[in-house]
Chain A
Amino acid sequence: MMPLRRFQIHQPKTVKEAAEMLSHYGEKGRLYAGGTELLLAMKHDLLRYEHLVDVKTVPGLDEIEIGNASLHIGTTVTHRAIEQSVPVREKFPVLAEMANHVANVRVRSTGTLGGNLCFAEPHSDPATLLLALQAHVHVQGRSGERTLGMEELIVGAYETTLATDELLIGIDIPRIAKSQRAAYLKFQTHERPTLGLALVLDVDGNGRSITKARAAVGSVSPKPCRSDQADALLAGPRDKVEKQLDDAAKVLADAADPVDDLEGSAEYKRHLIGVYLRRAFVKALA
């Protein structure tokens, strides 16, 4: 890490003002929402910005609200706040548990959910789980607001579909129904996970069959990934699905198309998808 190059920090009072600033500074500016990834990259001289727009100063973006149909998390809510939120722990235990294992406590205390998603670091735990949970994000720019699914937001490593003037203002996660079981597991030996795997299963009353499944895998390739075909193999009578887990893992691995890197070879990561899909399946139905 090197000394940070000189930059100016701007503290807008409203989302609209933030959008104006982002638009004004263009390539020379970047939104700052915790900085646990951004400042690290700047200290390693991998990114340079002359202006940072501090969205944490905008009131009202740091709230967690549980509605009848969904959970709303403001963009500047920290991982730590999610981890410690009593309603989240009660109604979305899988989310609280995931947040509890993001990086380390210093990162969790400073890093925000919105910042994490917008930085689109390929090893993001929240991005993978939120993809499985069918979350949506609200985005606002100078010309208005739009709503995107996770797959529409993150399109590559460090790459989102946000326009220069747009910022993510909140995340909506549909309520986890009584008939739903969810698990998020990760395999990690380095600073960031080698693999994250999220699984959400809709089960019938007695748990003997799975009516609908949604699996997502992250960290193994540039962005979190899922597959309709894999999800189809994960639905049906439980004993049948258990026999199809290896096939589902293979389909999911094909869709994710893991890359070789310091965390492991593509071959090893494909193997891990199989191991962790089975473990997540067992955990979700436990």
Chain B
Amino acid sequence: MSQKAGKKGEFHVVNHSVPRRDGRAKVTGKATYVSDVKLTGMAYAKVLRSPYAHAKILSIDASGAASRPGIYCVITGNDLEGLDPYYGHAVKDHPLLAIGKVRYVGEPVAAAVAVDERTAFEALEHIEVKYEELKAVLTPEDAIAKDAPLLHEKKFEAGALRGFEGEVAAGRGTNICQEAHIKWGDVEAAFKKAAAVVEGEYYFPMTYAYAMEAYVAIADVNDNGVTVYSSAQHPFMVRHDLKSIFNLPVSQVRLIVPFVGGGYGSKSYTKIEPLAAACSWKAKRPVKLQLTIEEAMLTTRSDDAYTWMRTAVNADGKIIARQARIYMNTGAYAENSPLVVEKSTNRCVGPYSIPNVQIDNCSFYTNTVPASSYRGFGCAQVTLPGESQIDELAAKIGKDPYEFRLANVAKPGEEFFPKMRSFDGTLKEDLDIAAKAIGWKEPLAKGRGRSVACSGSDAGAYPLTSTAVRVHADGSVTILTGSTELGQGSHTVIPQIAAEELGVPFENVHVVSSDTAITPYDRSTGASRTTTLMGSAVLEASREAIQQMVVMAADVLKVKVEQIQAIRGGVRCGEAQLNWSEVISKFYGLPDGEVIGRSYIRKSGKFAQLPVFWETACTGVEVSVDQETGKIAVEKLATVGDVGLAINPALAEGQDLGAATMGMGIGLFEELIYQGPQLMNGSILDYRLPRFSDLPKQVELHLVENQDGVGPYGAKGGGEASLNSMAANIANAVERAVGVRIRSAPLTPEKVWRALKERKQ
């Protein structure tokens, strides 16, 4: 009855770059973010943070602050009786305020709630905290040492929503947070018979995701339950943590997420919502907690990774083995790092067909800012070593690295990763486009080098998503979606799919999103899953609405259902033709009322096998190196997103450009620097982000659309993959430009200069 999925070129609304829905509101400052929300009687909180990396809290005296004018209350770890103050979807190790001890510099110790933010802030220095300093653990090496102090003394159960099937390693009397291992074939034997082997140690830095909007939450805890407005990517996951903290039924916890000013993984899972809610609980009024960027930098970061890797090739130029050992530094609390460990282990294999593989990965608790999700999800950490070694190996056997990749990448439909979905991309085509775009075979100026690189990620997270598509009596449509608009364009792409299916104008389809009391369940907005999973749910719900309206049309026309034919935007029966507005109005006998199409996606049918899809992209760069200073400039950039079908090509390309720019930032300058327990560059004055002036003059953005994904019309997710290969790409291009191999990011001018100097000596 419903229309068949179309082929590229046949679509009316999807696969068109309609202007983004929220664009005008955002650029004119009219879009509502959490910081714009004001509730009646709302108070403001500010947070006192730990000056120590690891210390016992001996006492807290908040009386000096609590008695100041304008202060409603001060809350500390001693005031949490009646709550279950620990949260964490993977490991429940994170207290909403430090309890008994602090585990990193910047950890929240107390919060003052006041009539305004300044009054709250000025009260903080009147809270007296006595600490007894403990020895700090700052690196995996420290964490593993025999006499290393333990960060967490408690035992932890694995969280039911941790997102993977394995157990968690945290809380077993060591500083290990999580381990992951994969193994197939016979690695030792393969390395023995290899024609060539490369081996090296690599470091991927701690980075900060820098969303322009820092974390903000407004909580209202009262007898009716808990309501929180938050800048959260995954409101339903946060709801689960709040339900457990306040011991409430799901129906009494409500998360509302308006526009989010960028996430990049940093706003996935629970962040400041429990603290904001506890402040409201104690102050007995709505409380707003808005962090500054500097505070956000003390809230989450990416895991830094120390990787030893070796890769072997046979005499025919086929990669026969890869082995890696990774130590990740996950900071003071697990957050989502157990899943990052799991994913980075898988992603070490890259999108290559390798018969012998062994990857051992271990993450450690340290007294640093807790690490969690970060765009690419552990992939960038291991693609720096992985894609560096592809070039190193090609050089060693005298092959062109582009040709070498072509000979080794997974082929469409190949089961290259045991027990996972077979490969659903076309990497040879992607690589070819990237290489052409940067002029791979063209002559190079002195001091310049090019590189093409790729990555493959088991993406899409867990397939659990539901939606409702409401068709109104005037034929317009409201979609209820739990997917959060983070800037990625979900509020544009989702209505495009419904408009395509229902045959109604795009302008008449609107979205209500991310209110857990209203919108049906969606597990998360991350892992590039929204277009594929929410998109599929919206497509199915639209078709379910059509089915209902066909039945209604039969009733209206007094014919059998089989006699009704669904056509674009309505139905036909013989000569009679009705659009959806007519069907609904005639059915109800009033020009009002609605039809609700519903759908859910679960791990079954075409989504039974994980990953939901392989997120694949290639990037190509040309760099120039100032050999006197070591400064690198990226002169050309090409991205190739292997997205199956772009529902909105301009938005897909924009995501790729953003991801590649973020990856370039890691390749060139981004790194959180610790000196001892102190974060030295914890502000955007000192943490160097990419600027417009860093962008290459020549940029080409390409999409490959073979409709080979499991999502709507063959779509797959995108938006992370172009980040993953960028650091390796820059390192490879520098090697080809000036002959030095750098195995750690970022490739700062000084680092490049030192490498050049060493080579001279």
The yes or no answer to B158 lying at the interface (CB within 8 A) is no
Q: Given A1-B294, A5-B118, is A262 in contact with B683 using a C-beta cutoff of 8 Å?
A: no
CA distance A189 to B668 in the complex (A): 10
- Set A262, A264, A265, A271: member contacting B673, Cβ < 8 A: A262
- Number of B residues whose C-beta is below 8 Å from A? 24
Residue in chain B with minimal CB distance to A264: B750
Residue in chain A with minimal CB distance to B694: A189
A3–B683 CB distance below 8 A: no
A5–B749 CB distance below 8 A: no
CB neighbours (8 Å) of B748 from chain A are: 189
CA distance A206 to B435 in the complex (A): 51
The yes or no answer to A158 lying at the interface (CB within 8 A) is no
Q: Given A2-B121, A189-B669, A275-B629, is A262 in contact with B686 using a C-beta cutoff of 8 Å?
A: yes
The yes or no answer to A190 lying at the interface (CB within 8 A) is yes
A189–B749 CB distance below 8 A: yes
CB distance from B291 to the nearest CB of A (A): 11
B750–A268 CB distance below 8 A: yes
- Set B292, B293, B688: member contacting A191, Cβ < 8 A: B688
A265–B750 CB distance below 8 A: yes
CA distance A4 to B673 in the complex (A): 27
A272–B629 CB distance below 8 A: yes
The yes or no answer to A187 lying at the interface (CB within 8 A) is yes
Majority secondary structure, A binding face: loop
The yes or no answer to B575 lying at the interface (CB within 8 A) is no
CB distance from A43 to the nearest CB of B (A): 9
B109-150 vs A, Cβ < 8 Å mask (1 yes, 0 no): 000000001100110000000000000000000000000000
CA distance A4 to B292 in the complex (A): 13
Q: Given A1-B293, A187-B629, is A271 in contact with B117 using a C-beta cutoff of 8 Å?
A: no
The yes or no answer to A6 lying at the interface (CB within 8 A) is yes
CB neighbours (8 Å) of B686 from chain A are: 190-191, 262
B663-676 vs A, Cβ < 8 Å mask (1 yes, 0 no): 00000010001000
Among B664-713, those with CB < 8 Å from A are: 669, 673, 680-681, 683, 685-686, 688
A2–B292 CB distance below 8 A: yes
The yes or no answer to B628 lying at the interface (CB within 8 A) is yes
The yes or no answer to A28 lying at the interface (CB within 8 A) is no
CA distance A6 to B118 in the complex (A): 8
- Set B117, B628, B681: member contacting A3, Cβ < 8 A: B117
The yes or no answer to B162 lying at the interface (CB within 8 A) is no
The yes or no answer to B12 lying at the interface (CB within 8 A) is no
CB neighbours (8 Å) of B673 from chain A are: 262
CB distance from B69 to the nearest CB of A (A): 13
Residue of A1, A189, A262, A268 ringed by the most chain B CB atoms within 10 A: A189
Residue of B628, B631, B686, B754 ringed by the most chain A CB atoms within 10 A: B628
CB distance from B632 to the nearest CB of A (A): 10
CA distance A44 to B294 in the complex (A): 9
A102-124 vs B, Cβ < 8 Å mask (1 yes, 0 no): 00000000000000000000000
B628–A275 CB distance below 8 A: yes
A248-279 vs B, Cβ < 8 Å mask (1 yes, 0 no): 00000000000000101100100110010000
B292–A1 CB distance below 8 A: yes
The yes or no answer to B246 lying at the interface (CB within 8 A) is no
B730-761 vs A, Cβ < 8 Å mask (1 yes, 0 no): 00000000000000000011100110000000
A5–B753 CB distance below 8 A: no
CB neighbours (8 Å) of B122 from chain A are: 5-6
A44–B680 CB distance below 8 A: no
CA distance A3 to B750 in the complex (A): 36
B121–A189 CB distance below 8 A: no
CB distance from A277 to the nearest CB of B (A): 12
CA distance A6 to B123 in the complex (A): 12
Among B6-47, those with CB < 8 Å from A are: 46
A271–B294 CB distance below 8 A: no
A1-36 vs B, Cβ < 8 Å mask (1 yes, 0 no): 111111000000000000000000000000000000
CB neighbours (8 Å) of B628 from chain A are: 275
CB distance from A269 to the nearest CB of B (A): 9
A4–B688 CB distance below 8 A: no
Residue in chain B with minimal CB distance to A3: B118
CB neighbours (8 Å) of A40 from chain B are: 685
A3–B629 CB distance below 8 A: no
B279-315 vs A, Cβ < 8 Å mask (1 yes, 0 no): 0000000000000111000000000000000000000
CB neighbours (8 Å) of A275 from chain B are: 628-629
B294–A3 CB distance below 8 A: no
CB neighbours (8 Å) of B46 from chain A are: 2-3
CB neighbours (8 Å) of A271 from chain B are: 753
Among B345-388, those with CB < 8 Å from A are: none
CA distance A264 to B51 in the complex (A): 26
CA distance A136 to B680 in the complex (A): 36
B683–A44 CB distance below 8 A: yes
Could you list 5 examples of A-B contacts with CB < 8 Å?
A3-B46, A189-B631, A262-B673, A272-B629, A275-B629
Q: Which residues of A contact B (CB under 8 A)?
A: 1-6, 40, 44, 187, 189-191, 262, 264-265, 268, 271-272, 275
Can you name 13 extra interface pairs (CB under 8 A) apart from A3-B118, A187-B631, A268-B750? A1-B292, A1-B683, A2-B46, A2-B292, A3-B117, A40-B685, A44-B294, A189-B749, A265-B750, A268-B749, A272-B629, A275-B628, A275-B629
Which 8 residue pairs are nearest across A and B when measured between Cβ atoms? A3-B118, A268-B750, A275-B628, A191-B685, A3-B121, A264-B750, A1-B292, A3-B117
